[in-house]
Amino acid sequence: MSMQIAHNISLKKFNSFGIDAIARNYASFNSVQSLTELIEDHHAQILQSHFILGGGSNILFTKPLLNEFVLKNEIKGIQLIREDDEQFFVEVAAGENWHQFVLHCIQNGWAGVENLSLIPGNVGASPIQNIGAYGVEVRDVIESVQAYHIAEKTLHHFSFTDCAFGYRESSFKSKWKNQFVITKVVFRLNKKPVYKTNYGAIENELEKMGITNLSIQSISDAVINIRSSKLPDPTVIGNAGSFFKNPAISKEQFEALKNQHPQIIGFQNQNGTMKVAAGWLIEKAGWKGYRLGDAGCHALQALVLVNYGKANGSEILELSEKIIHSVQDQFGILLEKEVNIL
């Protein structure tokens, strides 16, 4: 059976920035079998240039026409595959919405992802990006990843170690970039929750909510409240969440900056470096609330670049470059984009 290919399709509704890019060739797949058929039927074309589209929440299209073959991952399914005395092992298909999966975990009493509530996008992107928020990263809960190798047309299983997770980093993003399609992820979730409330404003929010008995539900609710108050809803204003990574600098550089700027926000990393809040740097450099045409820097959260309606991807990219130069000039820190640029 030959898979149905669509031509000259608008990707506007498939990316959270709401950028109107056109895909010359587009196809979706909802199983490993349909993905295999698709790749077999169009192997040379896909191998030459392709783009795997998930939830579209971490991508900025900068070209009006995409020559890459766009493959939309719509594989669904969540299954408890085994458990032991302490943990549940849950297999999740890559096309599942991340936040819906988190809510499903909370309903079932599977602990470990509650701090990652309301992160946009799909499950398949979570190991690539090693998504993280409020003191938790997805590498804390990943057991293994299954992915399809496009060139070899074979299915591979990767252990936690194979993935080589780092800060917003993994093997899928570096050495295996564009080689695989993630098909499912197995998560290792706790029966007995380990609450992480000391990061960001979680404790304050729980207090405000009047929570005296902690639960994974209350932590999730607190995170949702905080994110909703700070981050614009992509269905209202186009954005991809945090556009930049929080940079890591040496302790010496941090201390020198702290002498000049006592309010600077930083956290110590395990390797002794200091992670600096990129949002604070951008705000201090004067970009918070900035707008030129329909491209802007959000008024409540400087880490978020937004499309107020008709901005194109290159206008948002240009704004990001100006911010990077400005922060480097002022603080000697080079910001790195978290969003994928295509």
The set of catalytic residues is 168, 242, 338
Structure-token pair, residue 240: 């991809």
Task: State CA 291 to chain mean position distance.
Answer: 24
Question: What b/e sequence results for 240-271 when a residue is b if at least 16 CB atoms lie within 10 Å of its CB, and e otherwise?
Answer: bbbbbbbbbbeeeebeebeeeeeebebeeeee
| Pairwise CA distance, residues 37 & 34, whole Å | 5
Spatial CA neighbour of 167 closest among 323, 273, 300, 280: 273
Of 8, 11, 4, 42, the closest CA to residue 342 belongs to 11
Contact 37, 22 (CB under 8 A): no
Query: Residue 341 in contact with residue 62, Cβ under 8 Å?
Result: yes
What CA–CA distance (Å, rounded) separates 332 from 329?
6
